[in-house]
Amino acid sequence: MTAVVGIVRNGRVHLGADSAGVSGWSLTLRADEKVFRNGPYAMGFTTSYRMGQLLRYAFTPPEPTGDLPRFMVTTFVDSVRACLKDGGWATKNAEQESGGQFLVGIAGRLFIVDSDYQVGEPHARYAAVGCGADIALGALYATTELPVRKRMQVALEAAERHSSGVHGPFAYTTTRKPPASA
């Protein structure tokens, strides 16, 4: 299920997502959005609504400090792991923990957190996750001249058109612009 897209532009991170909740051949259009803000962070999830609910309502994200990639890989991910474990959602298999996949925007930068808790930052300054990710990425690549919101809409509509696990309506959020010193 899902297409979540993220774009970095002018010091802000913009996220958009569909509303599909998919189980087998069943589709439910959910009112609880897959993109949201939690403190200074914008987040957009795939994998599980339960994980998204924990990130939105139970997770108290730490304030970013120091080198941002180092912070994301250590302090931020450690806090996410603890939240998912406390919420009964994280899994452990052969001593390896796993969670789910989501996008995170903070301080004008976009990160992908994968199910093994690795953190990546796309060089292209845009990303997509979920079953519609490849389709959305193609649309994001081909629409660099469009305004951000239209670009996200085109990417999500392309994913909806060509992936059975993606369906509107679409929701959007953005981070606050970081201070000039950031």
Range(s) of the domain holding residue 156: 4-174
Is 113 inside any structural domain? yes
**What are 144-177's pLDDT values in tens digits?**
999 999 999 999 999 999 999 999 999 999 998 7
Q: How far apart are CA 118 and CA 77, in angstroms?
A: 8
The H or E element that residue 29 is part of is strand 26-29
In one letter, which amino acid is 10?
A: N
Domain count, the chain: 1
**What are 51-110's pLDDT values in tens digits?**
999 999 999 999 999 999 999 999 999 999 999 999 999 887 877 788 899 999 999 999
- Residue 178: the pLDDT is 65
Nearest CA to 169 among 15, 31, 14? 31
Tokens describing residue 74: 């250590």
Is 180 inside any structural domain? no
Tokens describing residue 40: 């200074």
In one letter, which amino acid is 72?
A: M
**In this structure, what CATH number is given to the domain that contains residue 119?**
3.60.20.10
Residue range 28-50: mean pLDDT, rounded: 96
Is residue 112 within 8 A of residue 120, CB to CB? The reply is yes
